[in-house]
Amino acid sequence: MSDLQNISLSSSQLSVGYKNGKEKTIIVENVNLSLKKGTFTTMVGINGSGKSTLLRTLAGLQNPMFGEVLLQNLPIETLDPEKKAKQLSVVLTGQYISKNLTVLELVALGRQPYTNWLGKLSEKDKVHILNAIAATELEAFKNTACHALSDGQFQRALIARALAQNTEVILLDEPTTHLDLHHKASIFSLLKTIAHEQQKIILSTSHDIELVLEISDEMLVINNGKATQDTPKNLIESGVFEHLFPANIIGFNKENQRFFIR
């Protein structure tokens, strides 16, 4: 398979931002990225650098200020919602979800794009739901209400819902907020395993740069309105992390891949 066929989500001269009346504000400009199958990519950048805005634009949830997002080589806004929901799923923090649902019920929502208008689950839907619950190691919590889950278990349930949706692309906005180091690492390892084993394209934003440097196949670094995509190794060598934070306050040690306070 050629590299081009292997790319399912890409952007061309993409600028993202927001509109206030007629006034456009661009936060990240000229993003030319390509996310490949079987690859776990993370997006990092300082607070307010535009990670969520870029992720939402890549998901087709908000319009580009300029340029375009292509899903399977088609402009994302031209896909009908039902078709798009079978190709791309999004896990957003702060999205309203009734926590009275059980894990099973929440994960079953991932099958909505496939069920008939009565919402009746087929045997195939049930297989996808149970597989997603198994992949996220939530079998023991299948019948537990979401309000009784820990933050880490609930994040896993949201990931399971996206897995049940059975899309090639999964985009996640800060899926490890409020989790401790062990649970952060376990969520990122899980996402990487899923990307590799199920040949999915997974992109997740994160504030844990040191951790995702160790785990990601590729990274997207947002800095001063520009996005750079490469492997962690190449990005470290390029010196991009030395300039991410004010250099007089925070430095980056290339040897041990750690930030330090001056």
Binding site for ligand ATP (CB under 6 A): 18, 27, 45, 47-53
Cβ nearer to ligand ATP, comparing 47 with 95: 47
Cβ nearer to ligand ATP, comparing 41 with 49: 49
DSSP track, 73-90:
TEEGGGS-HHHHHTTEEE
Cβ nearer to ligand ATP, comparing 47 with 256: 47
Cβ nearer to ligand ATP, comparing 52 with 87: 52
Cβ nearer to ligand ATP, comparing 102 with 177: 177
For residue 207, give the nearest of 242, 231, 181 by alpha carbon: 181
Cβ nearer to ligand ATP, comparing 29 with 105: 29
Q: Sign of the C-alpha dihedral, residues 35, 199, 219, 84?
A: positive
CB of 217 to ligand ATP, least distance (A): 21
CB of 25 to ligand ATP, least distance (A): 7
Q: How far is CA 32 from CA 13, 159, 212, 227, in A?
A: 6, 27, 21, 8
CB of 46 to ligand ATP, least distance (A): 7
CB of 71 to ligand ATP, least distance (A): 21
DSSP track, 2-27:
-TTTTEEEEEEEEEEEEEETTEEEEE
The single-letter code of the amino acid at 131 is: N
Q: Which phi and psi (to 5°) does residue 78 adopt?
A: -90, -10
CB of 179 to ligand ATP, least distance (A): 16
CB of 52 to ligand ATP, least distance (A): 3
Cβ nearer to ligand ATP, comparing 27 with 240: 27
C-alpha distance across the termini of the chain, in Å: 48
Residue with tokens 């992390």: 241
Q: Which residues pair with residue 130 across a beta bridge?
A: none
CB of 104 to ligand ATP, least distance (A): 31
Which helix (H) or strand (E) segment is 234 a member of? helix 232-238
Cβ-contact 157, 103 below 8 angstroms: yes
Within 10 angstroms of residue 182's Cβ, the number of other Cβ atoms is 9
Q: How far is CA 18 from CA 58, 164, 165, in A?
A: 14, 32, 29
